[in-house]
Amino acid sequence: MTNDAQITPKNILAADPDWWRGAVIYQIYPRSFQDSTGDGIGDLLGIAQRLPYIASLGVDAIWISPFFTSPMKDFGYDVSNYCDVDPMFGTLADFDVVVKTAHKLGVRVMIDLVLSHTSDQHPWFAESRANRDSAKSDWYVWSDPKPDGTPPNNWLSIFGGSAWQWDTRREQYYLHNFLTTQPDLNFHCPAVQDALLEATRFWLDRGVDGYRLDTINFYTHDKLLRDNPALPPEQRNSTIAPSVNPYNHQQHLYSKNQPENLDFLRSFRSLLNEYPDKSAVGEVGDAQLGLEIMGQYTAGDDFVHMCYAFEFLEKSPLTASRVVEVFDRLDKVAADGWACWAFSNHDVVRHASRWNLSPAALRAFTTMMMCLRGTVCLYQGEELGLPEADIAFEDLQDPYGIEFWPQFKGRDGCRTPMVWKQSNSSGGFSTGKPWLPVGAEHLSRAVALQDEDPTAILHHYRRSIAFRSASPMLAKGDLNGMQASGEVLSFVRTLGSEEIFCAFNLGNDPNSLTLPKGDWVQIGEDLGSAVISTDNIVDLQPWQPCLARRV
């Protein structure tokens, strides 16, 4: 394991309200990171134990997926108490240890806030469903049935079927965009917004540095409950729902993305501004309008700082032309906004498998990501080059996969435990039986093995992150002149009068290119950057970058 003495903590004590701009954030799925108790489930003290490793990567912050009190029907994304830790993850005191340890190591702490819905076991919902006259009767989205007894409209759930569930207590339907056990909060009710902001304040007072806001565009719904229109088959390209899910058959015009959402985000940002150096990244789940919504939600200083983009989480291969297409669209609809890019997370097939990447391709995409304009989010284990784990049906935990098996195997394959060493079947994750089996193919990629191998991809991640961190141009500068020439992607990053030229051969064949006029010097040699000839011509091997600074 990495020795603490090797880590040089970053100074995060100085005020820097823009720390998030161009930062590298490491996502932790707490169930699967490190188990400190032997019960087979990762926990907060396990995270604290492994923070020196995270700091050794050179990242700026961690994002911890939900650890709040929950019945775990959706593994923490169904919250029953916003202001406490679920016992399986530890205690509030354990969370304080995480924050203190991270800050000592120069790493900021962001947590996942799930505000669009709660668990059906939340006391708020228990009171709301008791009867139509309860004090919280309008805290959730309730509606009478149509005269024939069917749901009030055609809205669908991401987990399949109608987004409406009948409740016998009130003899009404309630809205759930996800599981039936995840009723949607009614953001048209001011008391709901006030309660959620108080929960947000609770964690700010506890020292968190920011938030990842789950399903940020689902907060408000159309008050009139109008039907969603059909989506033409050629536009069904969702990354948050598999193709076998009828959710993809609708344009979700009224069930999410409502203009009133901006009013709540303005209140949320106002609260964050009361505390120094806090930030928020919103997850925008929309396959058709994701970048447009990003442009709205990150414009100016009134809403969230950045939005988590899905464009690089798609199943289709990420080609040079696709990157250009995304950034061209970004320039048109979100020129003043700020994206947070990711290749993998806890909801999609790991990109090593999704795109069937060779070791050289994995390195090229990593270097490219660190050179793009925007903030970067890494998902635990991707720095080890982990492929998707193959999970047998009898081992599945994810309700999404169980529902749509075998055409869609769910999200468990990317959620298996982190591998720390090869010495046992649990990879050093736990002394007990892990909640999901450790992928046998992952053991040979364990942290301890890669730490000792200077050629391992883990060290490439460290070098790539260090390369980005050392250059304000890459973290906060502009991006210009992006183009694709066959399989070669190129662009220039600028800050003031300084320039860095970046090019990447994203293919299996050699290519060549000519740098812009001027004098350039090769940089990024330890990342495999190509040599520049005297006439500014560069020969690129398959999956090789060219990185150069104008002199």
Q: Which residues are catalytic?
A: 214, 274
Distance CA 24, CA 464 (A): 11
Helix, strand and coil in the chain, % to nearest 5 = 30, 20, 50
What letter represents residue 456's amino acid? A
Chain centroid to Cα 273, Å, comes to 23
Give the integer Cα–Cα distance in Å for 250 and 231: 5
Give the three-state DSSP class for 211: strand
Q: How far is CA 170 from CA 126, 139, 150, 174, in A?
A: 11, 14, 15, 10
Residue 353 burial (CB count, 10 A): 16
Query: Residues near 74 by Cβ (< 8 Å), separated by ≥ 6?
Result: 178, 179, 181, 182, 399
DSSP letters, 475-523, are HH-EEEEEEEETTEEEEEEEETTEEEEEEEE-SSS-EEEEPPSS-EEE-
> What's the gap between Cα 381 and its chain centre?
14
Contact 206, 96 (CB under 8 A): yes
Q: Which two tokens stand for residue 69?
A: 């009190």
Per-residue tokens: 304 = 């969230």
Sign (positive or negative) of CA dihedral 318, 324, 326, 327 = positive
Residue 142: partners with Cβ closer than 8 Å, 6 or more residues away: 128, 132, 167, 170, 172, 173, 174, 175
| Amino acid present at 122 | H
Nearest to 192 by CA among 137, 121, 247: 137
**Planar angle of CA 478, 481, 486, nearest 5 degrees:** 135
User: What SS3 class is residue 466?
Assistant: helix
Structure tokens at 177: 């965009």
Give the 3-state secondary structure of residue 537.
strand
For 403, other C-beta atoms within 10 Å of its C-beta total 16
How many residues appear in the chain?
Answer: 551
